[in-house]
A and B are shown apart, each in its own frame.
Chain A
Amino acid sequence: MSHFLTIPEEILLLSIDESGGISPESKSLDVVLASSILMDLAIRGKIDTDLQYLIHVDGTPTGDAILDDALTFLFQDMESRSPAYWITQLGLRADGYKEDLLASLVLKRVLKVENKKILWMFATRKYPLIGSQEVKEVKVRVRDLIYSNELPELQDIAIISLAYYGSMLEMMLTTEAIHQYNNRIETLAKMDLIGQSIGQALKELSVSFHLSSMAKAVLGIKTPEHKLEALVKEIKTKYNIEKEEDLPPWLRKGTDQYQKTLQFIEKEGTADVYYHAGKQTYYVRNYPSVFSL
């Protein structure tokens, strides 16, 4: 692949607003990022998909740390499973991937890091663009394709599919253009079968997810145990997980890792945390989410 940025890097870049923040409204971003990783791996010939399953093809590394972490994770389970299942599983690791993608974009000199304090108390981190060339390049490429009848490049199909099924088209196009070129956009978006699974995964993202989070925040949850239980419940609702065994160990009750999660929440005083499996470290999120309300 000749592109300077990977598909996950491009889509994350598009979700960064003018001030350098990641849009907190994008509750679909975890699912979109997970899907973007699968799409990139598919284009690189590491995995394949059909109407039912994701197929393991080649587990040798790509040379990209984030893609390789996901590839290793995928090849730990060789069962035939749907793309939607893997989107969910990678979505559970999306907080870690977000941090790694931001670090990669900083390293590639696309973004810079700005640490600030709000009211001299609350630390926030922003990732403003160093220049706007990369974002413009993605947007121009995508617009040119949508406004023409050209056959698409695979990476552009992926970006359009992610934006379409992840309800993120407004990041690239005006509302008028979205309406005017709706048929063309839909045709291009459908061309990626992983993209179509995003639609399925997002449909399962319950509307009640956001509302129940708000309610819990208003009611207040006091103990670390309650906070963690609430976090697990939210994640199960968000990703439509029914079986405990489909949860990662750090969220699965009865595991040693669950106890460590509990200790971390107790220490930090918030359940707005995630576990980075690659680094085997817990982090508090640097950007707003429903748990920081």
Chain B
Amino acid sequence: MEIQITPEDNYQYIQISGRLDAINAGELQEKLIQLTSKGINKLIVSLEHVEYISSSGLRAFLAIAKKMDPGGFIRFCLMHPSVKEVFIISGFNTIFGIFDSKEEAVLG
């Protein structure tokens, strides 16, 4: 799994590629929580290049969201269909915003 973090005007753009499972969910969680602990709590996450997500991956995003201050957000865009299916079946689509493009995610 690779994580690329790009600072934008009012948010951080996070691009993840590879599998998101028990092996690397901890690393992702740690990296993004490091951001939130610095007061950076507006994250837009592209999952365009993530073809697989397990329960551990979902839990990592939940843990990150719980660390955010009020007013912060974590939004997803360009989600791979197989990952989107997991979000929908697990109901995570009802607690996180999922958008078709980065621009839509910015607008919320």
Contact = CB atoms under 8 A, between A and B. Distances in A.
Interface of A: 42-43, 45, 47-51, 55, 57, 151-154, 186-188, 190-194, 196
A191 B94 CA distance: 10
Given A48-B21, A190-B90, A55 B62 contact: no
B101 interface: no
Contact of B65 (A42, A151, A194, A196): A151
A50 B86 contact: yes
A230 B5 CA distance: 61
Sort A-B residue pairs by CB-CB distance and give the 6 closest, nearest first.
A190-B91, A48-B22, A57-B22, A50-B54, A49-B55, A48-B54
B62 A151 contact: yes
A187 B84 CA distance: 16
B99 interface: no
A57 B24 CA distance: 11
Dominant secondary structure at the A interface: mixed
25 contacts: A42-B55, A43-B59, A45-B22, A45-B56, A47-B22, A48-B21, A48-B54, A48-B55, A50-B21, A50-B53, A50-B54, A51-B85, A51-B86, A55-B22, A57-B23, A151-B66, A151-B95, A154-B59, A154-B62, A187-B94, A187-B95, A190-B91, A191-B58, A191-B92, A192-B55
Contacts of A193: 55, 89-90
B91 A187 contact: yes
Contacts of A57: 22-23
Interface of B: 21-23, 26, 52-56, 58-59, 62, 65-66, 85-86, 89-92, 94-95
A50 B85 contact: no
A55 B21 contact: yes
Nearest to A149: B95
A52 to B, nearest CB: 10
B95 A48 contact: no
Given A57-B23, A187-B91, A193-B90, 20 more contacts: A45-B22, A45-B56, A48-B55, A50-B52, A50-B53, A50-B54, A50-B55, A50-B86, A51-B89, A151-B62, A151-B65, A154-B59, A187-B95, A191-B58, A191-B91, A192-B55, A192-B90, A193-B89, A194-B55, A196-B90
